[in-house]
Amino acid sequence: MKLLSTLFSSALIFSASSSLDARAVVGEAAPAFTLTDSQGKLRSLAEFKGKTVVLEWTNSECPFVKKHYSGNMQAQQKAAVADGVVWLSINSGAPGKQGAVDGAGANAIIKANSAAATAYLIDSSGSVGKDYGAKTTPHMFIVDGQGVLRYMGGIDSIPSADVSDIPKATQYVSQALAELKNGKPVSVPTSQPYGCSVKYDS
């Protein structure tokens, strides 16, 4: 019961996190950024112009992230990348905070989880996360080939840490990607994110 209470509290953290000075607005240009990836390479949103980009805020120690890394996140990553989509995992945890990693730590997580993202980006200052208003892990964003933000919110429709809920949920990210691929407007452009709070420095 105590664990369930803790998880429930974590799930609701997003509702209290309203102090971020976010610049990300669906239907407008996504905030530009440049970050170092787990291999030490600088990566920018601009380098992927012309491609659809998924941004996934992550923290491997969060139970909600663990839920989706039981196979759902990897499956969506693999399907998206195989379809020409760029998938960027971003860790905005401040040094010393839960889930914060350096490049070596990120590479170990990628290997342990058999993750299939295009790159894992380190945002230890939290500046990119705050620009996007990333509140939870996971918190998902989709940018189209013209650099316009088309989706922001949860990965799916059931805010729980229970793996058994995954098959019952609407998978908002994969649904939006399919709609964009087929030239359709995203039917659910925003949803409520859920998960653990992003561990910013302040």
For 154-176, the pLDDT digits (tens) are 999 999 999 999 999 999 999 99
Please report whether residue 64 resides in a domain. yes
Residue written as tokens 């910013």?
200
For 135-155, the pLDDT digits (tens) are 999 999 999 999 999 999 999
What does DSSP say about strands 53-57 and 86-91: parallel, antiparallel, or unpaired? parallel
Quickly state the pLDDT bin for 6 (edges 50, 70, 90).
Answer: very low
Q: What is the pLDDT of residue 22?
A: 80
Residue 194 has pLDDT above 70, yes or no: yes
Please report whether residue 88 resides in a domain. yes
Give the residue-averaged pLDDT of 120-124.
Answer: 98
Please report whether residue 111 resides in a domain. yes
* CA 202/CA 179 separation, integer angstroms: 37
Please report whether residue 202 resides in a domain. no
Please report whether residue 30 resides in a domain. yes
Q: Could you tell me the pTM of the whole model? A: 0.91
**For the chain, what is the domain count?**
1
Which amino acid type is present at position 71?
G
CATH of the domain at 137: 3.40.30.10
For 50-73, the pLDDT digits (tens) are 999 999 999 999 999 999 999 999
Which residue range forms the structural domain that includes residue 164?
A: 2-13+21-197
Q: What is the pLDDT of residue 20?
A: 62
Quickly state the pLDDT bin for 202 (edges 50, 70, 90).
Answer: confident
Quickly state the pLDDT bin for 112 (edges 50, 70, 90).
Answer: very high
Residue 91 has pLDDT above 60, yes or no: yes
Give the residue-averaged pLDDT of 178-192.
Answer: 98
Helix axes 72-82 and 172-181, enclosed angle (nearest 10): 10
The rounded mean pLDDT for the chain is 92
* CA 82/CA 118 separation, integer angstroms: 10
